[in-house]
């Protein structure tokens, strides 16, 4: 029998509200030559109702030999997963959180105790260990950190999507670790070049597409857009994860000048992303930290330039042609002003540069099979 992978994640397809990790993990599994069994919840983030048409606490085939998903619910689901993981004895146990009680802490403890055989343990924190993320609910996380460090096997491998995240991991562990640096599975560049800009109104669009959460920086995006003199449309797309933060952002939106038209879209599915970025001149994401940034990759793969602070790996990945990388609000506002006011032909050239920068980076990364890479390194 060949190698197998057990992947544990809080959320999985067809869910989408948890954002980039669902897309990244889905692409990672799609590109795996090694059979993968996924253990996940039977519902989406913020929605307790089970997905329609899925089998709960049992296997659901995904159309490839050896690949299946177990959608779990309640204590019965935990027991079912534990029983099957013990029977599987997978080659790799891939854990995608250090803070999730069920899909992070419990399997970390189980692998520490040897309850699933002797697999390679791979941990992907998906940005949980950035300084900004650790500051959110910081006292709870600081108290838990020493315990979690003891639970995690010393020989565990870590998957970091960038050197940024590798540094976060070692800072959190307070020791060196075996870290495999490989980007989260990126989207393939749009075939035939950047998607044409489709402006349905006479107002050019600035797009914010992410979770409404302090880490993602919507408040900063509003402040920047408020400094732009060109009449524009400001589209805000993403699920609200922090109601008090959203209330503060709504207060800032009311202060925007009258030449800025605000369009709040709410949650969006991954299939909505191409239409969002093809109608936008700029994606703005003043994040406080990204291990990868799936929404950034989605935008660039279509040729939509981005405005980001220097706390993502994208300047290192693809260079300055991706857009504006700065934490100076005035500099970002100036960039937006130029991009929003320039003629369509000039903007086509800006999109072409962003697309080619991403495509060049992608050609060097491509469809990496992370699990095969891990097995090769550990053999």
Judge if 172 and 211 occupy the same domain: no
Per the structure, the complete domain to which residue 125 belongs is given by: 5-184
Examine the fold and report which residue of 122, 149, 184 is the final residue of a domain before the chain moves on: 184
Q: Tell whether 167 and 227 lie within a shared domain.
A: no
The predicted pLDDT at position 366 comes to: 65
pLDDT-above-70 percentage for the chain: 99
Chain mean pLDDT for the chain: 92
Is 210 found in the same domain as 62? Answer: no
* End position of a domain, from candidates 123, 153, 184: 184
Clarify whether residues 159 and 293 are in a common domain. no
Q: Are residues 304 and 346 both part of a single domain?
A: yes
Q: Are residues 221 and 127 in the same domain?
A: no
Question: Is 377 a domain residue?
Answer: no
CATH of the domain at 106: 3.40.50.2000
Instruction: Check residue 364 and give its pLDDT.
Output: 82
| Residues 304, 358: Cα–Cα separation, whole Å | 10
Q: Answer whether residue 378 shows pLDDT above 80.
A: no
The confidence band for 1, taking pLDDT boundaries of 50, 70 and 90, is: low
Rg of the Cα trace of the chain? 21
Q: Is 114 left (phi over 0), alpha (psi -120 to 50) or beta?
A: left
Instruction: Determine, yes or no, domain membership for 224.
Output: yes
Candidate from 85-89, 198-202, 323-327 with smallest mean pLDDT: 198-202
Q: What CA–CA distance (Å, rounded) separates 16 from 23?
A: 8
pLDDT at residue 214 tops 90: yes
190 in any annotated domain: no
pLDDT band at 131 (very low <50, low <70, confident <90, very high): confident
Residues 247 and 353 in one domain: yes
132 compared with 214, residue with greater pLDDT: 214
Same domain, 215 and 159: no
Name the pLDDT band for 46 (thresholds 50, 70, 90). confident
Buried b (16+ CB within 10 A) or exposed e, 11-41: bbbebbbbbbbbbbbbbbbeebebbbbbbbb
Q: How many domains does the chain have?
A: 2
pLDDT at position 374 is 86
Q: Flag whether 379 is in a domain.
A: no
In a domain, 116, yes or no: yes
- pTM score: 0.85
Residues 121 and 214 in one domain: no
* Percent share of the chain, pLDDT over 90: 73
pLDDT band at 24 (very low <50, low <70, confident <90, very high): confident
C-alpha torsion angle, residues 186, 47, 137, 219 (rounded to 10): 70
| Whether pLDDT at 20 is above 90 | no
Residue of 306, 256, 261 lying closest to 286 (CA atoms): 306
Q: How far apart are CA 157 and CA 149, in angstroms?
A: 14
Shared-domain flag, residues 118 and 235: no
Residue 368 confidence (pLDDT) above 90: no
Residues 250, 152 share a domain:
no
Please check whether residue 189 lies inside any domain of the structure.
Answer: no
What pLDDT digit, counting tens, does each position of 306-320 carry? 999 999 999 889 889
80-89, 250-259, 286-295 — which is least confidently predicted?
A: 286-295
- Return all residues near 349 (Cβ < 8 A) that are at least 6 apart: none
Kindly state whether residue 378 falls inside one of the protein's structural domains. no
* 199 located within any domain: no
Q: Are residues 42 and 171 in the same domain?
A: yes
Q: Which of 122, 155, 184 marks a domain boundary?
A: 184
């Amino acid at each position: 029998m060949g190698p197998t992978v057990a992947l544990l994640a809080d959320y999985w397809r067809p869910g989408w509200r948890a954002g980039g990790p669902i897309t990244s993990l889905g692409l990672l599994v799609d590109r795996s030559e090694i059979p993968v069994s996924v253990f996940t919840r039977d519902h989406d983030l913020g929605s307790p109702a089970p997905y329609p048409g899925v089998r709960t606490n049992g296997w659901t085939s995904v159309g490839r030999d050896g690949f299946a998903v177990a959608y779990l619910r309640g204590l019965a689901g935990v027991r079912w997963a534990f029983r099957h993981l013990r029977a599987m004895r997978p080659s790799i146990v891939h854990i995608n959180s250090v803070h999730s009680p069920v899909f992070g802490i419990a399997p970390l403890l189980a692998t520490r105790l040897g309850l699933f055989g002797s697999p390679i343990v791979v941990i992907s924190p998906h940005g949980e260990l950035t300084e900004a993320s650790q500051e959110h609910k910081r006292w709870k996380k600081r108290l838990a950190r020493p315990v979690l460090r003891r639970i995690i096997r010393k020989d565990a491998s870590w998957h970091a999507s960038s050197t940024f995240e590798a540094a976060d991991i070692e800072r959190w562990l307070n020791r060196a670790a075996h870290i495999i640096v490989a980007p989260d599975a990126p989207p393939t560049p749009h075939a035939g070049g950047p998607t044409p800009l489709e402006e349905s109104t006479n107002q050019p669009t600035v797009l914010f597409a992410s979770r409404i959460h302090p880490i993602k920086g919507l408040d900063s995006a509003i402040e920047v857009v408020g400094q732009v003199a060109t009449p524009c449309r400001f589209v805000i797309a993403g699920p609200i994860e922090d109601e008090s933060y959203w209330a503060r952002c709504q207060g800032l939106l009311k202060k925007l000048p009258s030449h800025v038209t605000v369009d709040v879209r709410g949650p969006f599915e991954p299939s909505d992303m191409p239409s969002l970025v093809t109608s936008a001149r700029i994606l703005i994401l003043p994040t406080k930290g990204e291990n990868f940034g799936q929404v950034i990759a989605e935008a660039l793969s279509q040729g939509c330039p981005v405005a980001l602070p220097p706390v993502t790996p994208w300047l290192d990945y693809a260079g300055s042609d991706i857009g504006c990388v700065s934490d100076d609000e005035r500099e970002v506002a100036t960039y937006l002003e130029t991009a929003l006011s320039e003629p369509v032909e000039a903007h086509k050239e800006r999109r072409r540069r962003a697309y080619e920068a991403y495509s060049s980076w992608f050609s060097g990364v491509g469809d990496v099979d992370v699990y095969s890479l891990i097995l090769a390194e550990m053999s």
